[in-house]
Amino acid sequence: MHIRRRAGFLSAGALSLVMAVAACGSSNGDGPAAGSPSAAATLSVVASTNVYGDIVKQIAGDRVTITSIINAPDADPHSYEANSRTQLELSKANVVIENGGGYDDFVDTMLKAAGNSDAKVLDVVDISGKRASAGGELNEHVWYDFPTVEKLVTELVTVLSAKDPAGAATFSAGAAAFTRKLRQMESTAAAVKAAHNGAAAAITEPVPLYLLEACGLVDKTPEEFSEAIEEGTDVPAGVLSATLDLFARKQISLLVYNEQTAGAETEQVVAAARSNNVAVVPVTETLPAGQDYVSWMTGNLARIQKALG
């Protein structure tokens, strides 16, 4: 779902606050410029969501300080509003991680207003190499794609090591350990695919599609339904009827839905699935409380496996 379409902008007041914070955070000649670490400081990393913030933490440990802009586990990521702490952190960040693909354009807006041209910006969609298909739209939820996350990890090691050469060995070791876990999850997804390749699935939004594809599942949801839910618009009556009919006709093996953005139409779809004994698997866009990226995705995979029997 595109953060920019509901909250990917800053009000005039928020922009003024960004500029004021940037002015306070710039170099005054008595210390390092914003975006440049002092000899005693760890690197400052700002991530658009706590998903990317956690990935950095797994790799870099306490050699970085991390600010995740979208951080509350029960928050709708589309309701982001600028705050002074985030703007201050962006003004002095060494590394900024954004999802890209139109998901979190507010990061670029805030960073430009903060006047921090020294920060290294990592756009994960760009790193992924994914492009929209001809006549289609890019699924920008690339943190659900393990190969993309592995590419990000490789890029992070390069960037963090360049910013903090003394920490290069720490970053490489953290990346190696994290990558092993990623590959274990890829193996689990491959096992699900071997057992259930071609099984029909339904979604409320494209959030988990990369993971479902890795598991060999085929999305049967009418595109107009998931697009309307993603855009926050009303689902046409005929499209909703066709979606509900999938469950009534027993054409779906499981429903995977984003529980962070539930609404009337998604509630009807969940109810239809349950009344027709179709397994329901909830997912989220950001990290649930008390979990890291690996435990979160491992749990998603386990629930998919269980749902498929």
d(CA 284, CA 84): 27
Which residue shows structure tokens 């997804």?
Answer: 189
In this predicted structure, what is the pLDDT of residue 231?
Answer: 81
In this predicted structure, what is the pLDDT of residue 159?
Answer: 98
Q: Name residue 13's amino acid.
A: G
What is the token pair recorded at 125?
Answer: 């969609």
Which domains occur in the chain, in start order?
Answer: 4-183 (3.40.50.1980), 197-308 (3.40.50.1980)
List residues bridging with 122 in a β-sheet: 97
Q: pTM of the prediction? A: 0.86
Instruction: List the end-to-end C-alpha distance of the chain, in Å, as a whole number.
Output: 29
For the chain, give the secondary structure using H, E and C.
CCCHHHHCCCCHHHHHHHHHHHHHHCCCCCCCCCCCCCCCCCEEEEEEEHHHHHHHHHHHHHHEEEEEEECCCCCCHHHCCCCHHHHHHHHHCCEEEECCCCCCCHHHHHHHHHCCCCCEEEEHHHHHCCCCCCCCCCCCCHHHCHHHHHHHHHHHHHHHHHHCHHHHHHHHHHHHHHHHHHHHHHHHHHHHHHHHCCCEEEECCCCCHHHHHHCCCEECCCHHHHHHHHHCCCCCHHHHHHHHHHHHCCCCCEEEEEHHHCCHHHHHHHHHHHHCCCEEEEECCCCCCCCCHHHHHHHHHHHHHHHHC
In this predicted structure, what is the pLDDT of residue 73?
Answer: 66
In tens digits, the chain (309 residues) has pLDDT values of 444 333 333 443 444 444 444 444 333 333 333 334 443 348 999 999 999 999 999 999 999 999 999 987 666 566 666 677 888 899 999 999 999 999 998 899 899 888 899 999 999 999 999 998 877 789 999 999 999 999 999 999 999 999 999 999 999 999 999 999 999 999 999 999 999 999 999 999 999 999 999 999 999 999 899 888 888 888 999 999 999 999 999 999 999 999 887 789 999 999 999 999 999 999 999 999 899 999 999 999 999 999 998
State how beta strands 254-258 and 218-219 pair. Answer: unpaired
d(CA 27, CA 37): 12
**CA-based R_g, the chain, Å:** 21
d(CA 216, CA 194): 8
d(CA 174, CA 179): 9
Which of 286, 255, 292, 294 has its CA nearest to residue 272?
255
Q: How far is CA 9 from the centre of its chain?
A: 18
